[in-house]
Amino acid sequence: MNQYTTNAQLRSIFYDDPDTYDLARQRRNILRNRAARQRKAERMARRKPKVTPPISILAIHAAALGLSGQFNIEDVRAAYRQTMLRHHPDKHHGSPHHVRAKSEQLTKAANAAREYFERLNRE
């Protein structure tokens, strides 16, 4: 029995025994799924890896604060305050663990961005 056996062929082969028909159908589906997974893996292996363009540190920190385009230190401070008001971990003390972890991650990114821009402003 090959992987492309149709239901009609299976019924004609195993007409007398429905249990054998069900087992044969399940085996055929397993073989089809295995072949489909193998074809997908081969397609993925042929693909070229995606190259991400280099991103500047300034752009990373600006994105952490939700800034884009041109901005000054006052804009950075205002964006930092807004980010902290939204994502401060103390506001999420009763939330599920994944929400608290995300707020801590966003807070750390905002702190790093503010420190980076403050250093740039001092220089």
Mean pLDDT, to the nearest integer, of 22-48?
A: 85
Tokens 């397993």 belong to which residue? 30
Residue 61 and residue 117 in one domain: yes
Per residue in 76-104, pLDDT tens?
Answer: 999 999 999 988 888 877 888 888 888 89
Q: What is the pLDDT of residues 4-17, one digit of tens each?
A: 566 666 666 666 56
Q: pTM, whole model, 2 decimals?
A: 0.53
Q: What's the total number of domains in the chain? A: 2
In Å, what is the CA distance from 32 to each residue of 4, 5, 11, 52, 112?
8, 10, 18, 35, 51
Q: Is residue 51 a part of any domain in this protein?
A: no
CA distance 57 to 112: 11
Same domain, 31 and 73: no
Structural domain of 69: 57-122
34 with 87, same domain: the answer is no
* 1 in a structural domain: no
Which pLDDT score is estimated for 28? 82
Closest to 66 (Cα-Cα) out of 81, 56, 52, 55: 81
71 shares its domain with 114: yes
